[in-house]
Chains A and B, each alone.
Chain A
């Protein structure tokens, strides 16, 4: 591993010297996400392996090139899991790519996002120096929380070498229920249920069908089933895996580009022509349709959210919503101080970052 680390350092120093960009990549399962990757490929898969896993400490530490399939196998052997349910993209997704992309799955609304589970991270900076932030403990307020800042940074601040993540036990009981309701009522129900002490762990609605997952103590799941009604979905585990992997029919069909709109959970149905799929209790709305980019962005913004061009479409329009000027100023300053030569994933998040 030391040899691989040395190779990373040399690549970084060479890139700094030549002012050339590095395109950091694990298995490339999310190469389509963000702005188009630029620069020479830096493959992280050689730096792999679980460094430390203590089930009773609820923490796993792994190198960036570790496959999520390997993480899943280690956790499952101890009845534990990544509760934010990141997409595995066939198990090939790596730890580094998962953290850099910052994507969370169905469990996000009730358990928290990927960034909520990041406890520590090691970074190779623009000088090739190894920096350690956070740690392997749950509570840690020493220094700024740089490790959480790396979650979703798309590799623009440095090479994420190693990450410590909080893990959780798998629930004792799980049940999936389906309800036939329209768009507006699905949003209303999800928010009403969210305000009650129910063991909701995931939810989604599309095409007139609301599907929810209940997880927890057997008694809690039984009581919630009785209270909420609906019909049982017997192959629930497959359903939620397909949704997490974006292999659900909504995602796999051919058609217009896929947008992700992150909005307040209570936002009324978005008046956009095309198909929508709701997740996260109403807070994540997937949209496939031919509306104008400006109309899509406005639909999210007017309710206090933002829209990203998730997959497909013309990246020239800007994949991510533009930043407010004061926020953009802080972004530029962070980027120039962490990566003065602009070598790390140049332009992957915004063209000028």
Chain B
């Protein structure tokens, strides 16, 4: 799928669509020359690329309504795009389609200290919301690792999480209201200024819908008081199973840590030379366990956590004594992805979620797959909520390695489903994991998803062919694919 594809649209069609869009938005907002559209050919999942026919960058809601109405009339498919940091190819363009970028709607409309809410346009960056709220002692809780660049519109599309979501929730728990435009040009308010809205909870179904139900024009988010203090414990274990049990013991002790992360030895050895976080590179697992709140509260909770980790067989324990030290302990975990990029030309990040008690089984399975596919894998784990990020290391320039990495990834996801988990915890399905949806959901369940889609987008023009696979696609996948990644004729080139 890396191979350059010839344009799949006729120049006449492109002229027609461009002309229609230039009626409704200023000409400088419509891009159609290859040199201008090239930057939009992929999102954060760069292995999947497609040059779009047209890119349009509206400046306000009126223009979005007009663009969607025009595209609806011309039956052009649309791919909405936020900051383009997504990791599942959800914003990968369609060859004869239009990319609608919300980047220019980047205004913070209001921040209200008293009601602890902020109203923002979709292109506002996640971290910019917290920056704007900081003078009031407030912040926006979901903190995906891309928060410096990703936009709130994209967060709504993906239901983004972050390292603190066990305690503070995902996007769906922190958004009060979404204003969006349907493909038919209707402006729809979901949720509201109150905590609930009459009727069905359409806001819950819209969040995480991967740009397939509407284009977001405004979002009201909840802001929460910034904790006075945060401290983190770094604990080493000589066995991954002991580390996993320690996590269960912390939860069983009635503690909900602000963050609870685990790294395997491959990961800590990968990051330590890079960031010098002070990780114990001989440990089989490193656990980071954070407490936040008032100074007294943190003191009490850290004491409780330390006791549980000791009783769980930690071989070493360190507690951050300053904010600088806390950030240093976290730096290794936060730099796992760039560190992978440093030791390997390419890496492929998976995103399955599993019941925590299955961790040892899944890690063992992944170790066996490393042998099978001849590729290394480093595992970082949002241990508190069971979200596993195996980083498969490969070199795209070596024949077949990307292909093997893809098969390796798909087999990990199957294992996640087999132990009672899911194929994606926070990155979304997009185009990347669309085949794995055939493994997780039955034909009837996928049809139910299409019912939801048609209720919002009866014309099937908004980001079609993402996230929910068609019957046809699953049939093709089923033919090619036999359980546990054993495909027929494995030597036959397929891409």
A pairs with B: yes
Binding site for B on A (CB under 8 A): 54-59, 78-79, 102, 108-109, 112-113, 115-116, 125, 127, 129, 131-133, 135-146, 148-149, 151-153, 156-157, 168-170, 172, 191-192, 194-199, 216-220, 222-223, 262-266, 280, 283-284, 303-306, 308, 320-324, 326-331, 333-334, 337-338, 349-350
B393 CB to nearest A CB, Å: 24
Do A125 and B205 form a contact, CB below 8 Å, given A172-B254, A304-B192, A305-B192?
no
Give a binary string over B179-206; 1 marks a CB under 8 Å from any A CB, 0 the rest: 0001000111110111111111110110
User: B353 contacts which chain A residues (CB < 8 A)?
Assistant: 137-140
List residues of B (377-428) whose CB comes within 8 Å of A's CBs. Answer: 382, 384-387, 420-428
Among B28-36, B42-50, B441-449, the one that faces the other chain is B441-449
B444 lies within 8 A of A125 (CB): yes
A112 lies within 8 A of B173 (CB): yes
Give A102 to B299 CA distance when docked, in angstroms. Answer: 37
User: B20 contacts which chain A residues (CB < 8 A)?
Assistant: none
User: B186 contacts which chain A residues (CB < 8 A)?
Assistant: 326, 329
Among B1-9, B69-77, B452-460, the one that faces the other chain is B452-460
Q: Does B357 contact A (CB under 8 A)?
A: yes
Give A267 to B174 CA distance when docked, in angstroms. Answer: 20
A220 lies within 8 A of B114 (CB): no
Among B56-64, B220-228, B279-287, the one that faces the other chain is B220-228
Q: Does B468 contact A (CB under 8 A)?
A: yes
Give A321 to B198 CA distance when docked, in angstroms. Answer: 6
Among candidates B114, B357, B423, residue contacting A266 with C-beta atoms closer than 8 Å = B114
A217 lies within 8 A of B199 (CB): no
A217 lies within 8 A of B422 (CB): no
User: A323 contacts which chain B residues (CB < 8 A)?
Assistant: 198-199
B248 lies within 8 A of A56 (CB): yes
B195 lies within 8 A of A152 (CB): no
Interface residues on B, range: 35 or more
B445: nearest chain-A partner, CB-CB:
A131
A94 CB to nearest B CB, Å: 20
Give A192 to B138 CA distance when docked, in angstroms. Answer: 12
A146 lies within 8 A of B452 (CB): yes
Do A141 and B424 form a contact, CB below 8 Å, given A56-B248, A197-B293?
yes
A145 lies within 8 A of B204 (CB): yes
User: A112 contacts which chain B residues (CB < 8 A)?
Assistant: 169, 173
B176: nearest chain-A partner, CB-CB:
A264
Q: Does B94 contact A (CB under 8 A)?
A: no
A-B contact pairs, 13 of them (CB 8 A): A56-B252, A125-B448, A131-B445, A137-B385, A137-B421, A148-B201, A153-B201, A195-B113, A195-B225, A217-B301, A327-B202, A333-B456, A337-B454
Binding site for A on B (CB under 8 A): 112-116, 136-138, 158-159, 161, 165-166, 169-170, 172-173, 182, 186-190, 192-202, 204-205, 207-209, 225-228, 248-249, 251-252, 254-256, 293-294, 296-297, 299-301, 353-357, 382, 384-387, 420-429, 433, 437, 440-442, 444-446, 448-449, 451-456, 458, 467-468
Do A152 and B200 form a contact, CB below 8 Å, given A139-B426, A142-B423, A146-B448?
yes
A142 lies within 8 A of B448 (CB): no
B456 CB to nearest A CB, Å: 6
A319 CB to nearest B CB, Å: 10
A330: nearest chain-B partner, CB-CB:
B455
Among candidates A149, A192, A223, A308, residue contacting B296 with C-beta atoms closer than 8 Å = A223
A143: nearest chain-B partner, CB-CB:
B449
Among candidates B137, B172, B437, residue contacting A195 with C-beta atoms closer than 8 Å = B137
A336 CB to nearest B CB, Å: 9
A178 CB to nearest B CB, Å: 23
In the A-B complex, the 7 residue pairs with the smallest Cβ-Cβ separation, listed nearest first, are A219-B296, A304-B193, A169-B254, A139-B425, A148-B204, A138-B385, A220-B297
User: A263 contacts which chain B residues (CB < 8 A)?
Assistant: 193-194
A146 lies within 8 A of B425 (CB): no
User: A151 contacts which chain B residues (CB < 8 A)?
Assistant: 201, 204
B205 lies within 8 A of A146 (CB): yes
B382 lies within 8 A of A116 (CB): no
A283 lies within 8 A of B294 (CB): no
Give A191 to B223 CA distance when docked, in angstroms. Answer: 12
A114 CB to nearest B CB, Å: 10
A353 CB to nearest B CB, Å: 8
User: B357 contacts which chain A residues (CB < 8 A)?
Assistant: 54, 56-57
A283 CB to nearest B CB, Å: 5
User: A116 contacts which chain B residues (CB < 8 A)?
Assistant: 169, 172-173
Give A46 to B453 CA distance when docked, in angstroms. Answer: 34
B441: nearest chain-A partner, CB-CB:
A143
A169 CB to nearest B CB, Å: 4
Among candidates B182, B194, B428, B451, residue contacting A334 with C-beta atoms closer than 8 Å = B451
B207: nearest chain-A partner, CB-CB:
A145
B186: nearest chain-A partner, CB-CB:
A326
Among candidates A55, A78, A141, A219, residue contacting B299 with C-beta atoms closer than 8 Å = A219
User: B116 contacts which chain A residues (CB < 8 A)?
Assistant: 191, 194-195
Give A318 to B195 CA distance when docked, in angstroms. Answer: 21
Do A330 and B188 form a contact, CB below 8 Å, given A125-B444, A337-B454?
yes
Do A331 and B200 form a contact, CB below 8 Å, given A135-B422, A139-B385?
yes
User: A156 contacts which chain B residues (CB < 8 A)?
Assistant: 200
A306 CB to nearest B CB, Å: 5
Give A58 to B485 CA distance when docked, in angstroms. Answer: 32
Do A338 and B204 form a contact, CB below 8 Å, given A139-B425, A197-B227?
no
B138 lies within 8 A of A333 (CB): no
User: A191 contacts which chain B residues (CB < 8 A)?
Assistant: 114-116
B183 CB to nearest A CB, Å: 12
A327 lies within 8 A of B199 (CB): yes
B445 lies within 8 A of A262 (CB): no
User: A115 contacts which chain B residues (CB < 8 A)?
Assistant: 201, 204
B387 lies within 8 A of A139 (CB): yes
Do A280 and B195 form a contact, CB below 8 Å, given A324-B189, A330-B202?
yes
Give A131 to B450 CA distance when docked, in angstroms. Answer: 14
User: B115 contacts which chain A residues (CB < 8 A)?
Assistant: 191, 264-266
B201 lies within 8 A of A152 (CB): yes
